[in-house]
Amino acid sequence: MAYRQTPERLARDQAQRLHILQLAHAQVVEGGFAQLTMQRLAKAADIATGTLYRHFSGKGELAAEVFCMASQREVDALKEVFAAQGSAVQRLRQGVERFAARAWDSRQLAWALIAEPVDPQVEEQRLRYREAYAELFAQVLREGCAAGEFSVQYPHLVAACFVGAISEVLVGPLSPQARAQRSEHEVDDDLKRVRATLVELFLGALGAREHA
Amino acid sequence: MAYRQTPERLARDQAQRLHILQLAHAQVVEGGFAQLTMQRLAKAADIATGTLYRHFSGKGELAAEVFCMASQREVDALKEVFAAQGSAVQRLRQGVERFAARAWDSRQLAWALIAEPVDPQVEEQRLRYREAYAELFAQVLREGCAAGEFSVQYPHLVAACFVGAISEVLVGPLSPQARAQRSEHEVDDDLKRVRATLVELFLGALGAREHA
DNA sequence: GCAAGAAGTGAATCAGGATTCATACTTTCA
DNA sequence: TGAAAGTATGAATCCTGATTCACTTCTTGC
Q: Is residue A137 included in any domain, yes or no?
A: yes
- Asked if B154 has any chain A CB less than 8 Å from its own CB, the reply is yes
Q: Is residue A56 included in any domain, yes or no?
A: no
Q: What is the pLDDT of residues B91-126, one digit of tens each?
A: 999 999 999 999 988 989 999 999 998 988 999 999
Q: Is residue B24 included in any domain, yes or no?
A: no
CA distance A41 to A39: 5
Q: Is residue B62 included in any domain, yes or no?
A: no
Residues of B within 8 A of A162 (CB-CB) are 165
- Environment class of residue A94 by beta-carbon count within 10 Å: exposed (0-12), middle (13-18) or buried (19+)? middle
Q: Report chain B's mean pLDDT, rounded to a whole number.
A: 91
Residues within 7 Å (Cβ) of strand C: A 1-3, 9, 13, 16, 46-51, 54; B 1-4, 6, 9, 36-39, 49-50, 53, 58-60
3-state secondary structure string across chain A: CCCCCCHHHHHHHHHHHHHHHHHHHHHHHHHCHHHCCHHHHHHHHCCCHHHHHHHCCCHHHHHHHHHHHHHHHHHHHHHHHHHCCCCHHHHHHHHHHHHHHHHHHCHHHHHHHHCCCCCHHHHHHHHHHHHHHHHHHHHHHHHHHHCCCCCCCCHHHHHHHHHHHHHHHHHHHHCHHHHHHCCHHHHHHHHHHHHHHHHHHHHHHCCCHHHC
Question: Measured between alpha carbons, how far apart are the two ends of chain A, in Å?
Answer: 68
Q: Is residue A192 included in any domain, yes or no?
A: yes
Residues of A within 8 A of B162 (CB-CB) are 165
Per-residue pLDDT tens digits of chain A, which is 212 residues long: 666 677 777 888 899 999 999 999 999 999 999 999 999 999 999 999 999 999 999 999 999 999 999 999 999 999 999 999 999 999 999 999 999 999 988 989 999 999 998 988 999 999 999 999 999 999 999 999 999 999 999 999 999 999 999 999 998 777 666 777 778 787 778 889 999 999 999 999 998 755 44
- Asked if A169 has any chain B CB less than 8 Å from its own CB, the reply is yes
> 3-state class of B74 per DSSP?
helix
The CATH number linked to A184 is 1.10.357.10
Residue B191: pLDDT band (50, 70, 90) is: confident
- State the total domains in chain B: 1
Strand D at less than 7 A from CB of B47: yes
| Axis-axis angle for helices B184-205, A184-205 (nearest 10) | 110
CA atoms within 13 A on the CB side of B98: 18
B168 close to B114: Cβ distance less than 8 angstroms: no
Q: Is residue A7 included in any domain, yes or no?
A: no
**DSSP H or E segment with residue B194:** helix B184-205
Q: Is residue A41 included in any domain, yes or no?
A: no
Q: Which domain holds residue A181?
A: 66-211
Q: Is residue A175 included in any domain, yes or no?
A: yes
Residues of A within 8 A of B130 (CB-CB) are 168, 172
